[in-house]
Amino acid sequence: MSAKVAKSNKSASKEPSALAKLYLIGYNAVQVGGWSYILYQLVNYYLLQGPEFRAQITLWDYTQVAVIIFQNAAFVEILNAAFGLVKSNPVVTGFQVFSRMMVVVGVVMATPTGKVSPGLPIALFAWAITEIIRYGYYALNIVKVVPHFVVFLRYTTFIVLYPIGVTGELLCFWWAQSYARENSVWSTVMPNKWNATFSYLAFLWIVMLGYIPIFPQLYLHMFAQRRKILGGASSAVGAASVQKKKAQ
């Protein structure tokens, strides 16, 4: 068997099965639908409804069911990467997923101040647009029909949306820590039967400070992916054009 054939067979073996592709298309399509609904809820809450509506219900009360379901469903992405169903790095995926899950479960759901933080609508807006584009790109990529504008959006909109989303997340943390500072919640002090101590306030600050080294790495990783995808495409087009001219 030639090296070329062996390489081709190896690449083919890495292709997900038809059943796996069907599952991935379904998962990504559901997520597109879910985040589209959340984006609609944001538009409806702030633009289509009047102040009387917003006086009766908070943004979190209005969106919480959809946000809890579709944001926490992102945990499946870590499993998909770990089991090789997708080519994503499980560690990078884990950081991205857990940071958002922490905002939803460990901050907004855990504190009354997190629910009314000005960072919540900011984060939800950035998350919704990002996820609609991202999951849409993944679904189309599986069937290998990805319009160029979708690729461009996937590897360009993050430049603005990623910092906006992180700003919203940190504001949620800030509002939550103010409540945790004044109220002893989700904390354990000794003595107790576990002989252990845990400070929710300290935990919030550790996570917030963790954004300092982690965010730049993830942000630069996305820029590297952008150069690889968009830059590579441009190079390939240029090379093909040169070869065509030589042939003529």
Active site residues: 162, 169
Residues 6 or more apart in contact with residue 116 via CB below 8 angstroms: 58, 60, 175
Place of tokens 């917030």: 208
Instruction: Tell me which DSSP letter residue 187 carries.
Output: -
Residues 6+ apart with CB under 8 A from 34: 66, 69, 70, 73
Q: In whole angstroms, what is the distance from residue 130 CA to residue 165 CA?
A: 9
Please say whether the beta carbons of 172 and 105 come within 8 A. Answer: no
Alpha-carbon distance values, 156 to 70, 138, 146 (Å) = 23, 15, 15
How many residues in total does the chain contain? 248
Q: State how far the Cα of 164 lies from the Cα of 59, in Å rounded to an integer.
A: 18
* Other CB atoms within 10 A of residue 123 CB: 26
How open is the CA angle 110-95-26, to the nearest 5 degrees? 90
The conformational region for residue 212 under phi > 0 = left, psi -120 to 50 = alpha, else beta, is alpha
Other beta carbons less than 10 A from residue 214's beta carbon: 15
